[in-house]
């Protein structure tokens, strides 16, 4: 997401500060950077409203490349891998009931079962388990289609012979074990921020925030004269 100066905002600033043009670049830069900072905060708040993520590390996953006096636009970047489902709302498996998960605040808990996922048509139910590192996760055995995809990739790598990636072959070979389980993940920070539930809301407030910030910095410059 890019925060930039629309022409009408620039024209208003120029009109107000035309007698002190040397102050214009700095005022523009400060207004843009303040707006980028408030926009980042709005992004994080909006994600928390729409998604039931417990600990996403958003402060680290969203960063700002600030504007300068020569480049009067700021860019907001979001980065990060899919977040483990366990960091959303999860209900542990009980008896014959699979673990349940909920990602959206507007949704509800849903049983995490891959219907007919096994070769014999048996359902594959997710479960909560503690990992070696002490953290918890939501896991499920690989279904027949998932194993077939892995086997296809493994066969393809092996056919490459000496040109095949040995590390990839080793990893795929481990995944192809009969009872191999996978951890379940949900969305990444960028996917949540760029979703229709968050991005349009934040985008539509940028110009308003920029105008407010611009007025504040113009007033500060005028008071200093």
Same domain, 153 and 207: no
How many domains does the chain fold into?
A: 2
Is residue 140 helix, strand or coil? strand
Range of the domain at 27: 2-82+189-224
Same domain, 71 and 137: no
Same domain, 16 and 72: yes
Strand positions, DSSP E, the chain:
2-3, 62-65, 74-78, 89-91, 100-102, 110-111, 113-114, 124-125, 127-130, 136-141, 181-183
Same domain, 102 and 153: yes
Same domain, 145 and 211: no
What pLDDT does residue 222 have? Answer: 81
Same domain, 158 and 200: no
What pLDDT does residue 173 have? Answer: 65
Same domain, 139 and 177: yes
Same domain, 176 and 98: yes
Is residue 36 over pLDDT 60? yes
What mean pLDDT comes out for the span 100-105? 95
At 107-158, the pLDDT tens digits run 999 999 999 888 788 899 999 999 888 889 999 988 888 888 877 877 777 7
What predicted TM-score, i.e. pTM, was given to this entire model? 0.78
At 147-197, the pLDDT tens digits run 888 778 777 777 776 666 667 766 666 655 556 788 999 999 999 999 999
What mean pLDDT comes out for the span 17-22? 86
Same domain, 7 and 75: yes
């Amino acid at each position: 997401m890019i925060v930039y100066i629309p022409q009408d905002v620039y024209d208003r600033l120029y009109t107000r500060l035309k007698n002190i043009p040397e102050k214009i670049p700095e005022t523009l830069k400060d207004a843009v950077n303040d707006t980028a900072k408030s926009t980042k905060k709005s992004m994080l708040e909006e994600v928390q409203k729409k998604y039931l993520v417990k600990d996403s590390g958003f402060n680290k996953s969203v960063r700002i490349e600030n504007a300068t006096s020569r480049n009067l636009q700021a860019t907001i970047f979001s980065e990060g891998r899919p977040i483990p489902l366990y960091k959303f709302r999860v209900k542990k498996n009980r008896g014959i009931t699979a673990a349940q998960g909920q990602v959206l605040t507007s949704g509800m808990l849903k049983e995490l079962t891959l219907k007919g996922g096994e070769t014999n048509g048996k359902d594959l139910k997710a479960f909560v388990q503690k990992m070696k590192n002490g953290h918890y996760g939501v896991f499920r055995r690989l279904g027949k289609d998932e194993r077939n995809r892995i086997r296809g990739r493994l066969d393809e790598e092996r056919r490459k012979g000496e040109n095949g990636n040995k590390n990839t072959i080793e990893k795929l070979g481990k995944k192809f074990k009969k009872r191999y389980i996978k951890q379940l993940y949900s969305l990444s920070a960028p996917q949540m921020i760029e979703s229709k539930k968050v991005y349009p809301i934040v985008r539509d407030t940028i110009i308003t925030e920029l105008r407010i910030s611009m007025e504040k910095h113009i007033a500060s410059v005028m008071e200093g004269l």
